[in-house]
Amino acid sequence: MKVVIVGGVAGGATAAARLRRLDEQAEIVVFERSGYVSYANCGLPYYIGGVIEDPAALTLQTPESFFARFRVDMRVHHEVTAIHPERKAVSVKNLETGEEFEESYDKLLLSPGAKPTQPRLPGVGLEKLFTLRTVEDTFRIQDYIRQNRPKSAVLAGGGFIGLELAENLRELGMDVTIVQRPKQLMNPFDPDMAAFIHSEMRGRGVKLALGRTVEGFAERDGGVDVLLKGEQPLHADMVVLAIGVTPDTALAKAVGLELGIKDSIVVNDRMETSVPDIYAVGDAVQVRHVVTGQDVLLSLAGPANKQGRIAADNICGGDSRYSGSQGSSVIKVFGMTAASTGVNETNARKAGLDADAVVLSPMSHAGYYPGGKVMTMKVVFEKKTYRLLGAQIVGFEGVDKRIDVLAAAIHAGLTAIELKDLDLAYAPPYSSAKDPVNMAGFMVENLARGVVKQFHLEDVKDLPRDGSVTLLDARTPQEYAQGRIEGFRNIPVDELRERLGEIEAGKPVYVICQSGLRSYIACRILEGYGYETYNFSGGFRFYDAVMNDRRLVEAATECGMDQG
């Protein structure tokens, strides 16, 4: 059997290694357009920033090492230009010599990945306008920085690459601005959770120009102007386009493979395309989201590696199946960690799901053990069924641990209530006896049993201030004095029983505290005396962070100035 693989990196290289482990006699040929067949593209921003110092560390395998261990014929600087399924062959061009030839196959695997989205705007292609996707892109950016010592950079796009590159350029001492059309960074997060990411970025000196539309680029004064719709341009010594990626599927389109979202390749759960004996994996394929059941594009290394393994299994006569993707991800944001899995509340509702969420602010480990730090968790679930839909966590310690537990819970089909039953490891330096994941389960269980009702940030503005309801802040007078919501009166929870006479009977009571715990206790006290109560989800800490972020974004939009 002869297998030809188009593209290396995560999906193609994984498939090649798996194929060899399953079939020692197979002939395996990999054609890679770039000069690197297997590299850590997730580590590229950290090489630019000098965190990763050795360029060899980025290269997971070379053609020589792959051949030595797996006897796989890895040919870099070779571009497949056409597929001929009728005669089971591909046309190939050697980019170094210009030679063109055909290579036959029994099975063909496409792993072309995705390319940086290049908008059709004036100025795209300028010398000081960069993209970051390959090792060559990385060297080009780093060479420019070393030779020209730029003092400023504008990054168009606030996704994974944009944030990681912003951090690394900032660590090099550059003035960094992120500009993009959406009013938030990191779309896997709901806007309220993204507020904490924004705060960390601003605190580290990164300017955020959110809600801006880029209309083009122009050279000026030795640098680049980023032209904005209806505003003055942003000027910088260099610009990096990081507005996303587009499936690189020109080959698939030319040969007539069935295509899906953004011309991605449609595959079944065996990673088979619409043409017999042609498989596809990685960023170029459309997959099913395990939570919504909808077709999506998810450009992540984990799914690409799994898909490569599954395709190899099936090429060798097995029957492996890809169950779908749920978009689990984590990112370092300076000193902070932000992670998500499943779907956020915004996308759950767009998908037609009747979603609700709990927000909590637990410590990373036992409060009495030194060094604990607060994290913010948002766990999304489906009303009535309490099916676990997704989670987002932003914090400084223990974030990756909790998001992986929640990702496993979604994969296993647990309900949000069943999170309370998970038997998770505990020692004071690492967690609490009631782990944050358990706490989320307890909170959802209380909602399900009617022990507590909650109201959310978006409900606050619509609460009547005419006396028909009671708005109660259960924090200390000192906390209340430092910041409060208009219309909420202060009665500390520990004084509540003695001051019940100040709360008019027969009216609903909406209660808030700093994190949601004391207000929950206040609700239970009041319920015991016949009051109808609602607890604020997330607490004043959450409310204040989100509202402050919104004010900064709106103020910057109105005055046409960047945030910093």
Give the orientation angle of helix 191-203 with respect to helix 539-559, to 10 degrees: 70
Answer whether 304's CB lies under 8 Å from 284's CB: no
Label residue 499 left, alpha or beta by phi (over 0 means left) and psi (-120 to 50 means alpha): alpha
Coil, strand or helix at 525: helix
Active-site hit among 42, 316, 513, 523: 42
Going by their DSSP bridges, the two strands 265-266 and 285-288 should be labelled as parallel
Task: Report CA Rg, the chain.
Answer: 27
Query: How many Å apart are CA 510 and CA 505, to the nearest integer?
Result: 13
One-letter amino acid identity for 196?
F
What kind and span of H or E run contains 164? helix 160-171
316 annotated active-site: no
φ and ψ at 309, to 5 degrees?
Answer: -65, -45
One-letter amino acid identity for 232?
Q
Coil, strand or helix at 379: strand
The token duo for 194 is 């993204």
The token duo for 412 is 């296993």
454, β-bridge pairs: 535
For the chain, the residue count is 564
From the list 445, 446, 420, the residue with the least C-alpha distance to 434 is 420
Coil, strand or helix at 117: coil
Active site residues: 42
